[in-house]
Structure 1
Amino acid sequence: MPSATPIVDIFIPCFVDQLYPHTALNMVKVLEAVGCQVNYNPAQTCCGQPAYNAGYKAESRNIAEKFLTDFGAPVGEQRYVVSPSASCVGMVRNAYSHLFAGTPEAPQCGAVQQRTYELTEFLVDVLGISAIPQAQLAGRYTYHDSCSALRECGIRAAPRQLLDGVAGLERLEMAETTTCCGFGGTFAVKFESISVAMAQQKVEHALATGADYLVSTDVSCLMHLEAYIRREKLDIKTMHIADVLASGW
Structure 2
Amino acid sequence: MELRYTVIDPTKNITLLVTTPVPRDVQPRVAAELLRREKDAEQVGFAEGLAAGDPRLQMMGGEFCGNATMSMAAWLHRDLPIGESRALTLPVSGASAPVACRVTRLDGCFIGTVAMPLPERIETLSLPVCGVMQSLPTVFLPGISHVIVPADMIGRDRAEETLRSWSHLLPGEAMGLLLLAEDQTSFAPLVYVKPTDSCVWERGCGSGSAAIGAWLTSVRGADQCVSLGQPGGVIQVVTRTEDGASLIGLTITGTVVIGQTKTDNIPL
- TM-score when scaled to structure 2? 0.27
Greater percentage in helix: 1
TM-score of the superposition, structure 1-length normalised? 0.28
| Bigger strand fraction | 2
